[in-house]
Amino acid sequence: MGELEDAVMTRVWKWNRPVTVREVLEDLQRERSIAYTTVMTVLDNLHQKGWVRREAEGRAYRYEAVSTRAAYAAALMNDAWAQSDNPAAALVAFFGMMSDEQRGALRDAVRIVQGPETSEPAQAGSTGENPGSVTETGGR
């Protein structure tokens, strides 16, 4: 997803209601010079990709987010990871860029995905098991 698509989706999520091209355009124009047709094309592309749904209102459409910002972020990460020729190395590099807070969030996420049956042994065992589990699971 491009920077402009992200800027448009940010507004759709922030307003949490169906929006028009004109509304998004006017808000974006506070930050940059942009044409109506550009915003219309971006929203159409987001619709084609399944990130927004639209409903006709007169001669225009109202666009609404299909999924959450978290699902969008996950899809971006998945797309980036899928482009790597060495997924394990990409994950190691990504983990190396994380702050301590982000690593904590990652550990929490792994525990949630693994479920309650496996979270206790993972805590009691070697901490080196979790990154391998994430790499193995993500590489399948």
Q: 65-95, pLDDT tens digit by residue?
A: 998 999 888 888 888 888 999 989 988 998 8
Express each pLDDT in 103-113 by its tens digit.
999 999 899 99
Is the pLDDT at 131 greater than 60? The verdict is: no
Dist CA 120 CA 116 (whole Å): 7
pLDDT band at 11 (very low <50, low <70, confident <90, very high): very high
Mean pLDDT of the chain: 84
Dist CA 22 CA 96 (whole Å): 42
Dist CA 68 CA 13 (whole Å): 8
Q: What integer is the mean pLDDT of 53-76? A: 92
Who wins on pLDDT, 54 or 130? 54
Dist CA 40 CA 104 (whole Å): 40
Is the pLDDT at 54 greater than 90? The verdict is: yes
Q: What totals of helices (H) and strands (E) does the chain contain, helices first? A: 8, 2
Is 54:47 a contact under the CB 8 Å cutoff? yes
Please count the CA atoms within 13 angstroms of the CA of 97 that sit on its side-chain side.
6
Dist CA 24 CA 29 (whole Å): 9
Which amino acid, residue 119?
S
